[in-house]
Amino acid sequence: MIYPKRTRTRDLFELNGIWDFARELAPGDFANGFAPEKQVAVPSSYNDLFTEEEFRMWDKGVWYQRSFDMPKMLKDERIVLRFNSVSYRGEAFLNGVRLGDHETGYTPFEFDITDVVDFGKENRLCVRVENLLSTDTVPMGNLNNNPEPGQFAGQYPDMPFDFFPYAGIHRPVMVYTTSKQAWLDTVVVTTQNDGTVNVAGQVAGSASAVVLSCEGASVEASVESGAFEAAFKIDDVKLWNVWEPNLYNVTIQVVDDGDVLDEYTQRFGVREVKVEGDRILLNGKPVYFQGFGRHEDFAVIGKGLNHSVNIRDHELLKWINANSYRTTHYPYSEELIQLCDEQGILIISEAPAVSINFEFVTERTLDAHLKVLAELIERDRNYPSVVMWSVANEATTNRPESIPYFKKLSELVRSMDSTRPVTMITCKAENDLVMEFFDVVGVNLYPGWYHLPGQVADAKDDLRNTLEKMYAAFKKPIMITEFGADTIAGLHSLPAEQWSEEYQTELILGLIEVMRELDFVVGEHIWNFADFRTAQNFVRVGGNKKGAFTRDRQPKMVCHFVKKIWEKPRY
Ligand code: GCB
């Protein structure tokens, strides 16, 4: 699936805006239209739009509905309806006809509606959305308050992870067209630093050839059994790099007997990422990751795509001299990854697999995990900003059952993409059993917070000891993918005590000092970029407050110090 665009051969319009909304209080015929209980915004999570508990916390079926007209000049085209993400399950009906469904939030899905859409009258689109998580879903949820790690036991709603389970149509809904005779279906661009570009792809329908144009030159490739491959070289290529986002366009025309049936322009960057010894190399030079774990989370809209928030967040990342972030704990919007491409930010792209607990894992959990990982790679593999895949965060990888499970995940990623390193984020330190399958060790460590509270000097020693033991066990570069302290903006304390801005600053600076003493440490990602909403729990005060920035994106004290440290790259 390629990201939909309006081109010279394709039209596109979005179905964003105000939709009707109703909870499925009892089974019924919602698919043919229903009486709304409320109005809802798309894209957005629905939860924080509403005040009543029975709407805000509803995770069973809800229905979205709207109508649209189809311009009749498009009647000879193939018409596609696309959802950029629906959490957790989406099932769509057009004019009462079931189009299909999709499971796992955060990845796109689409339906060919050519034979269902009506050019003569209004079309009614009804979408059932459901956010019931279980042992079979990725992420898992509703484990009867028996999660691991223990700090999330007893929270409301019952999730084994530490962010609010927002639900709804989170990203744009689009209708786009292609030619009926033939259209470009997939494009995979791989590059080498000498400027060699390989483009492979799939064409559906009757076309016999594609013409690729880049930087004023063109090559033609024949389409055989629906597939094509072509290569060209860019002279004096400018590499894509951190905050140096050199990008190119390749325009692909699907042709038949001289007619251009489809045309699509794919942006790409030329860069190389690899792991060598204890270093991650970007374009042959070691790169040290400095940045954050994050969330798609903002007041009122929850996890809904908002371009203004995304732009502001990247401005703040640049201000603080960060070079990277991890899409904790799920794939972020494709539009955001495209922005990282345009701006030169390094991304560790994570599957939505947080807190997989092997006490509860079923065959279906693994199937859902493999499916969503494949969808993520298909979606993001052409984006140069994505420099590493993360298959999961904090699974119970100290249990032997995790070994075959993670072997399969790592094999899948490597079979789909051999050009990027792969990581897994552990919280089991040297007791992790699956690190042999990964190139870089990601680890979340909270000395000075969940253990050794208030004791910065001891926390530093603890971090050093843990990291040294991990390096001895795994002999791979280690990135500290989370560390930090909850902090109430405006709370001060001398001497520094937990929850104060002084404590967050002292702890984070102290731990960074230790990381930078250790040669095998390849990155420091503070938890979290900004405060964010969680489930209710006695350890969370109005959400998780480990943000360096507040939820409305104002800097806490720590930011001014970190900005100084990050002014010069470690190497
Ligand atoms: C973690 C999790 C993250 C939590 C964080 C915390 O290890 O990966 O989702 O929010 O700790 O603050 O407890």
Is residue 266 within 8 A of residue 2, CB to CB? The reply is: yes
Question: Cα(274)–Cα(304) distance, rounded to whole angstroms?
Answer: 33
Cβ of 297 less than 6 Å from ligand 1: no
My answer on whether 532 and 434 are in the same domain is yes
Give CA torsion, residues 17, 18, 20, 25, to 10 deg.
80
Query: Which positions are annotated as active-site residues?
Result: 394, 482
Q: In whole angstroms, give the CA distance from residue 68 to residue 49.
A: 24
Answer yes or no: is the C-beta of 158 below 6 A from any ligand 1 atom: no
Cis status, amide bond into 495, omega within 30 of 0:
yes
Which residues, at least 6 apart from 498, have a Cβ–Cβ distance to it below 8 Å?
449, 453, 454, 485, 486
Give a yes or no: residue 282 inside a domain.
Answer: yes
Same domain, 300 and 437: yes
What is the count of structural domains for the chain? Answer: 3
Residue nearest to atom 6 of ligand 1 (CA): 162
Counting Cβ atoms within 10 Å, is residue 144 exposed (0-12), middle (13-18) or buried (19+)?
A: exposed
| Residues 242 and 331 placed together within one structural domain of the fold | no
Per residue of the chain (571 residues), give pLDDT as tens. 899 999 999 999 999 999 999 999 999 999 999 999 999 999 999 999 999 999 999 999 999 999 999 999 999 999 999 999 999 999 999 999 999 999 999 999 999 999 999 998 899 999 999 999 999 999 999 887 765 555 566 789 989 999 999 999 999 999 999 999 999 999 999 999 999 999 999 999 989 999 999 999 999 999 999 999 999 999 999 999 999 999 999 999 999 988 999 999 999 999 999 999 999 999 999 999 999 999 999 999 999 999 999 999 999 999 999 999 999 999 999 999 999 999 999 999 999 999 999 999 999 999 999 999 999 999 999 999 999 999 999 999 999 999 999 999 999 999 999 999 999 999 999 999 999 999 999 999 999 999 999 999 999 999 999 999 999 999 999 999 999 999 999 999 999 999 999 999 999 999 999 999 999 999 999 999 999 999 998 889 999 999 999 999 999 999 999 999 999 989 9
Ligand 1 center to 528 CA (angstroms): 9
355 C-beta closer than 6 A to ligand 1: no
Report which secondary-structure segment, H or E, holds 410: helix 402-416
Does residue 91's CB lie within 6 angstroms of at least one atom of ligand 1? no
The residue among 345, 109, 329 whose CA lies nearest residue 337 is 345
Q: Which atom of ligand 1 is nearest to the CA of 444?
A: 7
Q: Which domain holds residue 83?
A: 12-178
**Which residue's CA is the nearest one to ligand 1's atom 1?**
444
CA of 546 to the centre of ligand 1 (A): 9
Is 1 inside a domain boundary?
no
Distance 358 CA to ligand 1 centre (A): 19
What is the best residue among 151, 327, 354, 444 to mutate for testing ligand 1's pocket, by most ligand atoms within 8 Å of CB? 444
Task: Report how far ligand 1's centroid is from the alpha carbon of 27 (Å).
Answer: 37
The alpha carbon of 165 is separated from its chain's Cα centroid by a whole number of angstroms, namely 15
C-alpha 376 to ligand 1 mean position (Å):
22
Q: In a 3-state reduction of DSSP, which class is residue 378?
A: helix
Domain end, chosen from 246, 269, 292, is at 269
Say yes or no: 461 and 347 in one domain. yes
Q: For position 147, what pLDDT does the model report?
A: 58
Regarding whether 141 and 85 lie in a shared domain, the answer is yes
Q: What is the CATH number of the domain that holds 395?
A: 3.20.20.80
Q: Which two tokens stand for residue 54?
A: 């029975």
Task: Tell me, yes or no, whether 499 and 362 share the same domain.
Answer: yes
Among 241, 277, 327, 308, smallest CA distance to 553 is for 308
Considering the domain boundaries, does residue 520 fall inside one?
yes
Q: How far is the CA of 17 from the centre of ligand 1 (A)?
A: 33
Please tell me the residue having the least CA distance from ligand 1 atom 9. 162
Atom of ligand 1 nearest to the CA of 151: 13
CA distance 220 to 149: 55
Asked if 430 and 349 sit in the same domain, the reply is yes
pLDDT of residue 280: 98
CA of 162 to the centre of ligand 1 (A): 6
- Reading the block at residue 300, the tokens are 């009122």
Q: Which of 425, 482, 528, 529 to mutate to test the pocket of ligand 1 (most atoms within 8 A of CB)?
A: 482
82 and 199, same domain (yes or no): no
How confident is the model at residue 154, as a pLDDT? 77
Q: Do 142 and 199 share a structural domain?
A: no
Nearest CA to ligand 1 atom 10: 162
In a domain, 3, yes or no: no
Residue 103 beta carbon below 6 angstroms from any ligand 1 atom? no
> Strands (DSSP E) along 95-206, which ranges?
97-103, 109-112, 123-130, 168-169, 173-178, 182-191, 196-205
Ligand 1 pocket check: which of 294, 498, 527, 538 to mutate, most ligand atoms within 8 Å of Cβ? 527
Question: How far from 195 is each of 236, 272, 524, CA to CA, in Å?
Answer: 7, 11, 31
The CATH number for 228's domain is: 2.60.40.10
Does residue 80 sit in the same domain as residue 17?
Answer: yes
How far apart are the CA of 293 and the centre of ligand 1, in A? 9
Q: Are 432 and 398 in contact (CB under 8 A)?
A: yes
Provide the whole-model pTM: 0.97
- Ligand 1 pocket mutation, candidates 296, 397, 544, criterion most atoms within 8 A of CB: 544
Q: What is the DSSP string of 280-345?
A: EEETTEE--EEEEE----BTTTBT---HHHHHHHHHHHHHTT--EEE-TTSPPPHHHHHHHHHHT-
Backbone angles phi, psi at 97, to 5 degrees: -90, 130
**Cβ of 350 less than 6 Å from ligand 1:** no
- Residue whose token pair is 């081109």: 7
Write the residue with the smallest CA distance to atom 2 of ligand 1.
Answer: 162
Asked, for residue 6, whether it belongs to a domain, the answer is no
Burial (Cβ within 10 Å: 0-12, 13-18, ≥19) of residue 494: exposed
Is the C-beta atom of 483 inside 6 A of ligand 1? Answer: no
Q: Is 20 in the pocket of ligand 1 (CB under 6 A)?
A: no
- Given a contact cutoff of 8 angstroms between Cβ atoms, the answer to whether 173 and 16 are in contact is yes
**Structural element, H or E, at residue 209:** strand 209-214
End residue of a domain, out of 269, 291, 324: 269
Which of 569, 443, 571 has its CA nearest to residue 511?
443
Q: Tokens for 439, please give them.
A: 């190139």
First and final C-alpha spacing in the chain? 38
Of all protein residues, the one whose alpha carbon is nearest to atom 13 of ligand 1 is 162
Say if ligand 1 is within 6 A of residue 394 CB: yes
Ligand 1 neighbourhood includes 330 CB (under 6 angstroms): no
Residue nearest to atom 3 of ligand 1 (CA): 162
CB 182 within 8 A of CB 206: yes
- Among protein residues, the one whose CA lies closest to atom 4 of ligand 1: 162
Which residue has a Cα nearest atom 5 of ligand 1?
162
Q: Which residues contact 560 (CB under 8 A, 6 or more apart)?
A: none
In a domain, 166, yes or no: yes
Rg (CA), the chain: 24
> 51 in a domain, yes or no?
yes
Residues 145 and 264 in one domain: no
Domain presence at residue 2: no
Same domain, 136 and 33: yes
Interstrand relation of 109-112 and 248-256 (parallel, antiparallel or unpaired): unpaired
Decide which of 122, 150, 178 is a domain's last residue.
Answer: 178
Residues paired with residue 337 on neighbouring β-strands, in sequence order:
none
Compute the distance from residue 393 Cα to the ligand 1 centre, in Å: 9
Ligand 1 center from residue 18 Cα (angstroms): 34
- Ligand 1 probe mutation, 140, 152, 162, 451, most atoms within 8 A of CB: 162
CA 355 – ligand 1 centroid, Å: 10
CATH of the domain at 16: 2.60.120.260
